[in-house]
Structure 1
Amino acid sequence: MFEHDLTDPHDVGLNADRLDAIPEYFQENYLDTGKLPCVATLVSRGGEVALEDYSGATELGGDKPIGPDTIFRIYSMTKPVTSLAAMMLFEEGKLRLDHEVSRYIPEFADTQVFNSGNREDYTTRKPDREMTVLDLFTHTSGIPYGFLMQDETDAIYRKHKISETRETLLEMSKRIAGLPLAFSPGERWCYGHSIDVLGAIVEIVSGQPLDEFFRERIFGPLGMEDTDFWVPEDKIDRLMACYSKHPITGEVTESDGAGAASKLYSKRPTLLNAGGGLVSTVRDYHRFCLMLMRGGTLDDARIISPKTWEFMRQNHLPDGRTIKDMGDKTFSEARMEGNGFGLGGSVLVDPVASMQPSSQGNFSWGGLASTFFWIDPVEEMIAIQATQMIPSGTYPIRPQLQQLVYAAVDW
């Protein structure tokens, strides 16, 4: 266990014994059994950190312990950062949610919808309406991911190697515009490359590469010194290994090495993956969450207006529907039941339907390698969990963490 500037849990209405039981639970059920290499956990209330624990090692079977300086691949926890960047530009009047995407990337004016066929031979139709910037924020654009293996449109994305080639965010977005949508914009909820296209719009509107915008406007002001799209040489030894468990055979393999053995993060990538490319530490991401919980301000840094943050954490899905109402069989990084979707993450609209103790209005999201966060504005509570195991649903560690954290609330 690692402790640093921890508050007395009782002072913020949390039970110390029950907080201590959280890392013990994951140690017994996931580390001692060899299922996960590590689990990092942070819980704060009212901005005061009541639990910060780093258990396990940077590699399966390894002896180098993780700690507060360990760098994790946060994958889709990049999405709230990109969404925030877009809303910062929204505040400056440089974009609107009701604008057609084609206003920024003209190629999207001609984007069609998949009609019938397969990835080799298919027909398309004209969408019922053009895709808007809001559709990108809320994953109602019709743009899929290629790796979810769900229908013919993601098979087409795999054929065209979307996100697998060495191209810029804008170049990839233009190629996406030439591929068929899974459905007409606004018709369904579909997890995909929407935030990558939104990131390209951030670059176009700001006139800056995405990593430069992030550093100058978000990471620098917030003191997030270890968050970026790559890890420089003087920090690379702090990057832990990442693993993948095969869904059928159960075989666990290393998807990317630790430190200098990493093939993906040792240099700045050409593709600044706006939907899933960042690496970060638990403490860095806590500063990001804390800024949001405090209404867009942290210390002396004012990032967004509290009214903008309030707007972002409303359910923006049509007619107040949930992800389950609109998502069909689509994968989500949060439970579909009871969750709507805001600008950058899921928004809890029905705690009972979610089957978890929680608060209405919780804002949350996770990453492919089993990282997760939530912000509870009612309880003024933040929880972050990190390990490195793909896919994120390999083990039910997210709902288990939520059960254990809320069980520690005394008042």
Structure 2
Amino acid sequence: MAQLKVETEPDEVGFDAARLARVDEHFRRYVDDGRLAGWTIAVSRRGKVAHLSHHGLADVEAGRAVADDTIWRYYSMTKPITSVAVMMLYERGLLALTDPVSRYIPSFAQQRVYVAGPAANPATVPATEPVRVWHLLNHSSGLTYGFHHSHPVDEIYRSAGHEFGVPQGMDLAAACDAWAAMPLVFQPGTEWNYSVATDVLGRIVEVVSGRSLDAFFADEVFAPLQMTDTAFWAAEDDLDRLAALYIPDPGDGGRIRRHDRMGVGATRKPVFLGGGGGLVGTAADYHRFTQMLRRGGELDGERLLGPRTVAYMTRNHLPGGQDLKAVGRPISAESETTGVGFGLGFSVVLDAAGSKSLTSPGEYAWGGLASTAFYVDPVEDVTALFFTQLMPSSTYPIRPQLRTLVQQALVD
């Protein structure tokens, strides 16, 4: 089991301990007033954990406290892991970023693009170019999510049972064929729209590697990084470590436990291996993943990617070098769009002043549906993690608050 522990005093790596304590002081209020059940926060600099804290309960109904070994649903923090897997195959010469997706998933060969009309009878035109692997990596493919509720194609997804997940019993291969049969929101490569694209990447990993996505992750990513608690479901023996999933209570500002399909989905092996949001694991495991990234693809002698590949992934790949504000469709999250671009699996800060964020150009990050978040600031050599289980992530401004509270504590 990966261990997460404080490795240095804050002042030894340039933090003011009293200012760093503001992180906990602020987020304790989220628990104490009932907005969140509990959380874990980890902050590192120069590869050493300078701050680690837990507060509140992982499962309110069971009275179980958040602990070092609590298992969290990563949701979209799965996406960077899948993106790394794709780039590992790219480094081996097994695929090219410019490859049409149809080379691996034939149903993508005849894509059509929405131009007008209602979801029940949309007008479409042929795609002017195929959806390519790099379109999937930077969300410029034209695919979407049913839960956006901002475009007729989103409604088409929902009508087919693709909102938060896929229809029951559908596997990854069948889901990709279903998405390929639906119109794209825009011509590939012209805009940015958060989507099921990373799930499609997961299927490409399966086709190219000849292994199921869970097997590839286990052998090629988790074992080398010693991420022993990360998988697509919590094993039966570990269910007493799995955090409960909550949504806001509109009545009193607190939270309500989700006992539905999403709430119990992480308790058994899924049919659908979602490379865009299916993994669960511990803060310690995800910390090891972030340290591999900040070290340029290597950790404890195990190299997953070359440093130039990581640098390439964490630069802006949006059309024309623009930011998300200029070319992105809005998403229901608290992530900033002005001054922020998108790389191959991560958001990337282009202009900290423009984004109104206390951070550095080149910071890369992402978060998950249940209000989890991470970021890596390569200029300050800081990584920060926040884990809780409240969906949706747009409920509270946790990500920008985390960044501000951590960065303001730097004094060297």
Give the alignment's TM-score, normalised by structure 1: 0.95
Q: Could you tell me which residue of structure 1 aligns to residue 104 of structure 2?
A: 104
Q: Could you tell me which residue of structure 2 aligns to residue 309 of structure 1?
A: 310
Higher mean Cα deviation, 79-88 or 235-244? 235-244
Aligned mates of 2:297, 2:391 — CA distance in 1: 31
Task: For residue 244 of structure 1, give the secondary structure of its aligned residue in structure 2.
Answer: strand
Q: Could you tell me which residue of structure 2 aligns to residue 80 of structure 1?
A: 80
Higher mean Cα deviation, 143-152 or 118-127? 118-127
Relative to 1, partners in 2 of residues 1:3 and 1:228: Cα closer, same or farther, differing over 3 Å? closer
Per-residue Cα deviation, 1:95-131 (whole angstroms, up to 9, x for no partner):
1111111111111111101122222222211122211
Relative to 1, partners in 2 of residues 1:63 and 1:117: Cα closer, same or farther, differing over 3 Å? same
Relative to 1, partners in 2 of residues 1:390 and 1:203: Cα closer, same or farther, differing over 3 Å? same
Aligned-pair CA distance for 1:251: 7.2
Q: Would the aligned equivalents of 1:44 and 1:50 in 2 still touch at CA under 8 Å?
A: yes
Aligned-pair CA distance for 1:256: 4.1
Per-residue Cα deviation, 1:78-98 (whole angstroms, up to 9, x for no partner):
000000000000000011111
Aligned mates of 1:223, 1:269 — CA distance in 2: 23
1:189 to 163, 175, 192: 192
Cα RMSD (Å) of the superposition?
1.9
Aligned length: 406
Q: Give the residue type in structure 1 aligned to 2:68.
A: P
Aligned mates of 1:3, 1:298 — CA distance in 2: 15
Q: Could you tell me which residue of structure 2 aligns to residue 226 of structure 1?
A: 229
Q: Could you tell me which residue of structure 2 aligns to residue 217 of structure 1?
A: 220
Q: Would the aligned equivalents of 1:111 and 1:178 in 2 still touch at CA under 8 Å?
A: yes
Percent of aligned positions with the same letter in both sequences?
Answer: 43
Aligned mates of 1:333, 1:268 — CA distance in 2: 31
Q: Could you tell me which residue of structure 2 aligns to residue 242 of structure 1?
A: 245
Please list every run of 5 or more consecutive structure 2 residues that lacks an aligned counterpart in the other structure: none
Aligned mates of 1:354, 1:164 — CA distance in 2: 37
Q: Could you tell me which residue of structure 2 aligns to residue 345 of structure 1?
A: 346
Q: Would the aligned equivalents of 2:324 and 2:337 in 1 still touch at CA under 8 Å?
A: yes
Q: Could you tell me which residue of structure 2 aligns to residue 392 of structure 1?
A: 393
Q: Could you tell me which residue of structure 2 aligns to residue 40 of structure 1?
A: 40
Q: Give the residue type in structure 2 aligned to 1:334.
A: S
Aligned-pair CA distance for 1:337: 1.3
Aligned-pair CA distance for 1:332: 5.2
Please list every run of 5 or more consecutive structure 1 residues that lacks an aligned counterpart in the other structure: none
Per-residue Cα deviation, 1:140-183 (whole angstroms, up to 9, x for no partner):
00000011111110100011113233222111101111111111
Task: For residue 195 of structure 1, give the secondary structure of its aligned residue in structure 2.
Answer: helix
Task: For residue 57 of structure 1, give the secondary structure of its aligned residue in structure 2.
Answer: strand
Relative to 1, partners in 2 of residues 1:279 and 1:306: Cα closer, same or farther, differing over 3 Å? same
Q: Give the residue type in structure 2 aligned to 1:403.
A: T
Aligned ranges 1:10-21 → 2 under 5 Å: 10-21=11-22
Relative to 1, partners in 2 of residues 1:248 and 1:95: Cα closer, same or farther, differing over 3 Å? farther
Aligned-pair CA distance for 1:359: 0.7
Aligned mates of 2:334, 2:222 — CA distance in 1: 24
Task: For residue 148 of structure 2, give the secondary structure of its aligned residue in structure 1.
Answer: coil
Higher mean Cα deviation, 112-121 or 229-238? 112-121
In the alignment, does 2:170 pair up with 1:167?
A: yes
Aligned mates of 1:290, 1:375 — CA distance in 2: 9
Per-residue Cα deviation, 1:219-251 (whole angstroms, up to 9, x for no partner):
011010111100111111100101112679967
Higher mean Cα deviation, 4-13 or 286-295? 4-13
Q: Would the aligned equivalents of 2:294 and 2:376 in 1 still touch at CA under 8 Å?
A: yes
Aligned mates of 2:159, 2:43 — CA distance in 1: 42
Q: Could you tell me which residue of structure 1 aligns to residue 370 of structure 2?
A: 369
Q: Would the aligned equivalents of 2:334 and 2:396 in 1 still touch at CA under 8 Å?
A: no
Q: Would the aligned equivalents of 1:37 and 1:61 in 2 still touch at CA under 8 Å?
A: no
Aligned mates of 1:248, 1:141 — CA distance in 2: 39
Q: Would the aligned equivalents of 1:244 and 1:390 in 2 still touch at CA under 8 Å?
A: yes
Q: Would the aligned equivalents of 1:224 and 1:285 in 2 still touch at CA under 8 Å?
A: yes
Aligned mates of 1:312, 1:171 — CA distance in 2: 29
Aligned-pair CA distance for 1:309: 0.5
Aligned mates of 2:23, 2:251 — CA distance in 1: 30
Aligned ranges 1:262-341 → 2 under 5 Å: 263-331=264-332, 334-341=335-342
Aligned-pair CA distance for 1:354: 1.1
Aligned mates of 1:221, 1:159 — CA distance in 2: 41
Q: Could you tell me which residue of structure 1 aligns to residue 181 of structure 2?
A: 178
In the alignment, does 2:117 pair up with 1:117?
A: yes
Q: Could you tell me which residue of structure 1 aligns to residue 55 of structure 2?
A: 55
Aligned-pair CA distance for 1:323: 1.0
Q: Would the aligned equivalents of 2:139 and 2:197 in 1 still touch at CA under 8 Å?
A: yes
Q: Would the aligned equivalents of 1:119 and 1:155 in 2 still touch at CA under 8 Å?
A: yes
Aligned mates of 2:259, 2:95 — CA distance in 1: 37
